[in-house]
Structure 1
Amino acid sequence: MAEIDAHLVEPHAEEGFTRVAKDVFAGTCGGIAQVLSGQPFDTTKVRLQSAPEGTYTGALDVVKKLLKNEGPAGFYKGTLTPLVGVGACVSIQFGVNEFMKRTFNAQNARAGHPGAHLSHTQFYISGAAAGIANGFLASPIEHIRIRLQTQTTTKLYDGPIDAIRQINKAAGFKGIFRGLLPTQIREGHGMGAYFLAFEALVDHDIKTNKIQRKDIPGWRLCLYGACAGYAMWFTSYPIDVVKSKMQTDALDPAKQQYKGMIDCFQKIYATNGIKGFFRGFLPTILRAAPVNACTFYAFELTIRYLG
């Protein structure tokens, strides 16, 4: 049987606006699945990352106190922002990643290797480009979400619009984008590792079993998605802690604990050492498998349906 290219499967060979629109819509579906399955884990992670020392003893303590003080709905504080925003973010991630894959396929063809499988470097660059493009949208969305998630008994914001208004009033437009640099670093490298892991596993499956991408069973797509989530968080979690610390700092520049990314990094290390960069890691890793399994499965299923 002739070798089947993992990246020029029939639906993905389509060009132009229609192809991009399908990729973006499928990415949006993946983003919605990601938010609904992952918000409780994310709320737990953010509270662990940003709470003052001694507030919680660990992830289970966060869960217990949140359920006692705020009820189950407390896990879904700030969900509206990511439901809209993460849908847009994931659509950008998948849309740019698919575009970059097609670009590299065309580049390989021009180099005299039509139908050649993409290299791991090309997978990584495709994912990194997707992450960097997404970072500009992800940074303000996550900033608003974190402000809402970390509200406890004192309600500071009535919702995402009020949070935007208050942040803009206190720190100006640039205040909304606080944490942009660490977000870009996390997204660039994290998405590179994320899509590399998934696409390399899919590529191996196609080569080994001599099947087309659309024939890979759902359970294996979920498994590959879970592995992609682990690849992302095991390699980018410390910078995510820095980002969260910066985005929960005081809005008034005169009262801010961290003057920038490097200052935040230094102060975390001075206070807690290396372990300070892994606060909230347990709920993140527990979240990584089911959330990213759902994300990739929703994306691939939608693409198969759309054709």
Structure 2
Amino acid sequence: MTGGVERRLFQEFSPGYYGICTVGGMLSAGTTHLAITPLDVLKVNMQVNPIKYNGISSGLSTLWREQGPSSLWRGWSGKFFGYGIQGGCKFGLYEYFKKLYSDVLVDRNRSFIFFLSSASAQVFADVALCPFEAVKVRVQTQPKFAKGLVDGFPKLYRAEGLMGFYKGLLPLWCRNLPFSMIMFSTFEHSVELIYHNIIQRRKEDCSRAQQLGVTCLAGYAAGTVGTVISNPADNIVSCLYNKQAENVMQAVKKIGLANLFTRSLPVRIAIVGPVVTLQWFFYDTIKVFCGLPTSGGLNRCLEEANLSA
């Protein structure tokens, strides 16, 4: 069976198409982030208290011993709903902006379009995520703050007002914009490289299983590269949300320049690589079930409009 799809629920670039991409992004991002909540709890605590939580196995053991097994799932609602909404915006808007910029910037190369599309989508996605992230980090690192989103949202609002939810927006953009730009671009080019140099067949001539296999390989490469680039900003976000610093410069000084790049990096790679891989896999699986092509590179319709690139 080839990758060609006989029946499609929606035509590409129709409102229904973007709706499927948004729903696929929500489901893929929400479920994968929910699944790795224990590692995320450990990561945030390693960033806030690196002396006490200085390793993956020892850190998990410390959390289990001192706070019980339920502590490993603290903040799960923020992960599921916050990153679900972010994922919907990120994937859905990325598809929209990629088509928009491909039509407008016909003389630009594809890498520029990938960077600009992912950055545009991520700006909106992080605005949606920021309130959930503000509550989640506090729930995960301050056991007495709140149990989850239901009691965490009103408590944070009473304590810090509306701005309390967006205190970390700038660091969040600093973390996620480079990550998203690198991740999407790396994914797109990895897919193209695998088809052209390894499989040496067009995507349309490959089976759906082969296409999803390519998605997984490209997704892992994209997640690993993006993690290394975004690690400094991720440490700053945790430092700010836990009131260990009042602004970005204080956070950088407190953490130390070298630690910005190395602190919690192994656990983030352990988290983000598989998470990004699963996100792309689930996302493309949903698209395939709806009769749509898998992701990667400018599709045939867009390529025809960018032959000059």
TM range (shorter): 0.7 to 0.9
- Give the unaligned 5+ runs of structure 1: 1-9, 250-256
Distance 2:135 2:181 in 1: 25
Distance 1:293 1:84 in 2: 20
Distance 1:199 1:12, change over 3 A: farther
Partner residue in 2 for 1:151: 142
Partner residue in 1 for 2:232: 238
1:121 counterpart (90, 112, 117) = 112
Amino acid at match of 1:240: D
2:215 counterpart (214, 221, 226) = 221
Task: Give a deviation string over 1:58-114, Cα, whole Å, max 9, x none.
Answer: 222211111223343322111012211211110111011111221233236x66x9x
Matching of residue 286 in structure 1 with residue 278 in structure 2: no
CA-atom RMSD in angstroms? 2.4
TM-score, normalised relative to structure 2: 0.83
Partner residue in 1 for 2:20: 22
TM-score, normalised relative to structure 1: 0.83
Distance 2:10 2:232 in 1: 35
Q: Report the CA distance between 1:300 and its aligned residue.
A: 0.3
Using the aligned pairs only, state the percent identity: 23
Partner residue in 1 for 2:157: 168
- Contact 1:35–1:86 (CA<8 Å) still a contact in 2? yes
Amino acid at match of 2:263: R
- Contact 2:37–2:76 (CA<8 Å) still a contact in 1? yes
Q: Report the CA distance between 1:13 and its aligned residue.
A: 5.8
Distance 1:106 1:189, change over 3 A: same
Q: Report the CA distance between 1:15 and its aligned residue.
A: 2.8
Partner residue in 1 for 2:258: 274
Amino acid at match of 1:41: L
Q: Following TM superposition, where does structure 1 have runs of at least 4 consecutive aligned residues deviating by more than 6 angstroms?
A: none
- Contact 2:20–2:287 (CA<8 Å) still a contact in 1? yes
Partner residue in 1 for 2:251: 264
Q: Report the CA distance between 1:277 and its aligned residue.
A: 4.3
Deviates more, 1:180-189 or 1:61-70: 61-70
Matching of residue 85 in structure 1 with residue 82 in structure 2: yes
Amino acid at match of 1:135: D
Q: Report the CA distance between 1:11 and its aligned residue.
A: 8.3
Distance 2:47 2:191 in 1: 33
Q: Report the CA distance between 1:171 and its aligned residue.
A: 1.4
- Contact 2:29–2:87 (CA<8 Å) still a contact in 1? yes
- Give the unaligned 5+ runs of structure 2: 1-7, 292-309
Aligned residue for 1:284, secondary structure, equals helix
